[in-house]
Amino acid sequence: MQFKKYTKTPKTQSMKKILILNGPNLNLLGKREPGIYGARGFEEELKDLQTRYAGRVELDYFQSNIEGELINKIHEVGFSWDGIVLNAGAYTHTSIALQDAIRGVNTPVIEVHISNVHKREEFRHKSMISCACVGVICGFGLDSYRLAVEAFLNEE
């Protein structure tokens, strides 16, 4: 089996372009099960990340509850951007189509989860996308996203 390497990404831009891609129900962050996902909305978190990485990373954001829209977005950025930070929500556990989309593009993808899925229900222990991603970060709350951006910045 061949694994994707970070070096497949074009290195022509000085500022890295990274997409944070959130899947189903993650538009409800801040309202949805705050005991698990926290009380903070993602817009706030995104602003903080954009401020933190200003001048170093162009951080874009897309969220959809629709599997095909997530796949279309991966296709759209997946041949020119430097990284995708993907929280596929529940599609993580079900979507072979997302796995294929990740395999089909050049841009490396880091899988993230806010909660530690391995401490939760058994059906959350299985990810259909991990095998196509360069790495997985989970269980650090919204900080999981920052850790993924850091991982892209630390690459050589």
Work out whether 113 is an interface residue with ligand DQA (CB under 6 A). yes
Q: Is 6 a catalytic residue?
A: no
Distances (CA, A) of 57 to 16, 25, 139: 5, 26, 24
Considering the complex, state which of residue 122 and residue 156 has its C-beta at the smaller distance from ligand DQA: 122
Number of amino acids touching ligand DQA (CB under 6 A): 10
Window 31 to 70, contacts with ligand DQA (CB under 6 A): none
Minimal CA–CA distance to 18: which of 102, 85, 100? Answer: 85
Considering the complex, state which of residue 9 and residue 138 has its C-beta at the smaller distance from ligand DQA: 138
- Give the amino acid at 47: K
C-alpha to C-alpha distance for 98 and 155, rounded to whole angstroms: 24
Q: Is 148 left (phi over 0), alpha (psi -120 to 50) or beta?
A: alpha
Q: Mask: binding to ligand DQA, 70-99, rule CB under 6 A, as x and -? A: -----------------x-xx-x-------
- Do residues 51 and 80 touch, judged by C-beta distance below 8 A? no
Considering the complex, state which of residue 59 and residue 137 has its C-beta at the smaller distance from ligand DQA: 137
Tell me the β-bridge partners of 86.
21, 111
Q: Is 113 a catalytic residue?
A: yes
Considering the complex, state which of residue 9 and residue 63 has its C-beta at the smaller distance from ligand DQA: 63
Work out whether 146 is an interface residue with ligand DQA (CB under 6 A). no
C-alpha to C-alpha distance for 70 and 84, rounded to whole angstroms: 11
Work out whether 9 is an interface residue with ligand DQA (CB under 6 A). no
Question: Which parts of this chain interact with ligand DQA (CB under 6 A)?
Answer: 25, 87, 89-90, 92, 113-115, 117, 124
